[in-house]
Structure 1
Amino acid sequence: MGTVFGYARVSTKDQNSDSQEEALIRAGCARIYRDIASGALSERSGLKQCLDDLSEGDTFIVWKLDRLGRSLPHLVQVVTLLKEKGVGFKSLTEGVVDTTTPAGELIFSIFAVLAQFERGLILERTHAGLAAAREKGRIGGRPSLSRHDRKVQLSQEMTEKGMKIKDICLALGISRSTYYRYLKLNRQI
């Protein structure tokens, strides 16, 4: 049998994870990783380190699902990663989420289907919104540029005067990549 790892997270420095950690210790966690970060962030150093340290046969436990993440797709992504590594997953307060049992595996599979359904709905709404915008004559993407646009001409003049790229970008309020797009319009690249 592998090692039991725990993960505790609080959103702000004003909160503490003591009650989570006590529950994780009672559940047999040999190591506990911590983060002070919003659940909406998928990049958290404690979580990343824990996921890196896990190996086949280990078990990963959280006090509650919302400590791992706020969105269903993110939860499914993390638990799928755990499954691929051969790591079990348990949530202490949502007892039905325990991928080390057949019933828990079934519940997680339902979560995965719901996350896929949610992604499909988002995609469908996005396409409907784009179609409605096109019907109203709006087209997405970057605005088209012409060699005759004032900023394009100014970038060319400043370049010919030998100004540094960062100074040109600062003066025109553009990014470096936009500067190079302007030069390309002037056939300089």
Structure 2
Amino acid sequence: MIVAYARVSSLGQDHSSQIDRLQAAGAEKIFSEKQSGLDKDRPELSAALEFVRDGDTLIITKLDRLARSAAHLHQILELLDKKGVGFKVLDDSALDTTTRTGKLMFGILASMAEFETALRKERQLEGIARAKARGETGGRPKTVDEAAIQALKAAGKTVPEIMKVTNVSRAAVYRALQSSTGAV
């Protein structure tokens, strides 16, 4: 059986063109949803992966409709492989695990993705080490002028008054005051 999955990222988008193409490619059952690819919980994708059986083929129009990342794609393909399910991407005929060449391509892509992840992690750790050597702690730069908040408090201003003058939240004012004295 040919099973298909279609997805668009937002409610304002339409996936009818994807569905038309999937039907033209022979899809007998189509799972579709309007949900961001970054969402971890995509019920229709989960349902499609649960539905497919040995001998089925899962098809999609474009690779980015399926997975959040290369690692996620690899995870999905591993699940499909364990279930004996083939996988095809209509917009890229080389990505077809029902053929020997397609399986080779996915193996190469998975290896490259794993290699790139390792390189990225290595570069990230090197950058963190360099920043620490320069005395930088990382994180977002402070946007609150703690000295100004402390000066206003020393001048007798109340927390609501300080909030109004500095245009920062109550929590930020209290954090600034606490950092100077250890208590508010």
Instruction: Give yes or no for TM over 0.5.
Output: yes
**1:121 Cα deviation (Å)?**
1.2
Aligned match of 1:119? 117
Query: What does 1:1-189 correspond to in 2, within 5 Å?
Result: 3-137=1-135
TM-score (norm 2): 0.69
Task: Give the paired residue count.
Answer: 141
**1:134 Cα deviation (Å)?**
2.9
Percent identity between the aligned chains? 43
Q: Deviations over 1:3-31 (max 9, x none)?
A: 21100001111211111111111211111
CA distance in structure 2 between the aligned counterparts of 1:59 and 1:9, rounded to whole angstroms: 17
**1:133 Cα deviation (Å)?**
3.0
Residue segments in structure 2 that go unaligned for 5+ positions in a row: 139-170, 172-184
CA distance in structure 2 between the aligned counterparts of 1:108 and 1:57, rounded to whole angstroms: 19
Q: Would you say the 8 A contact 1:88–1:100 is kept in 2?
A: yes
Question: Structure 2: which amino acid aligns with 1:30?
Answer: E
Q: Would you say the 8 A contact 1:10–1:36 is kept in 2?
A: yes
**Stretch deviating more after TM superposition (86-95 or 36-45):** 36-45
Q: Deviations over 1:72-127 (max 9, x none)?
A: 22222211221122110000111110000011111111110111011111210221
Q: Would you say the 8 A contact 1:64–1:94 is kept in 2?
A: yes
TM-score (norm 1): 0.68
Aligned match of 2:159? none
CA distance in structure 2 between the aligned counterparts of 1:80 and 1:32, rounded to whole angstroms: 21
SS of 2:95's partner is coil
SS of 1:89's partner is strand
**1:139 Cα deviation (Å)?**
6.1
Question: Structure 1: which amino acid aligns with 2:41?
Answer: E
Structure 1 moving runs of 4+ over 6 Å:
none
Q: CA RMSD in A?
A: 2.1
**1:138 Cα deviation (Å)?**
5.2
CA distance in structure 1 between the aligned counterparts of 2:119 and 2:33, rounded to whole angstroms: 32
**Stretch deviating more after TM superposition (52-61 or 89-98):** 52-61
**1:130 Cα deviation (Å)?**
2.6
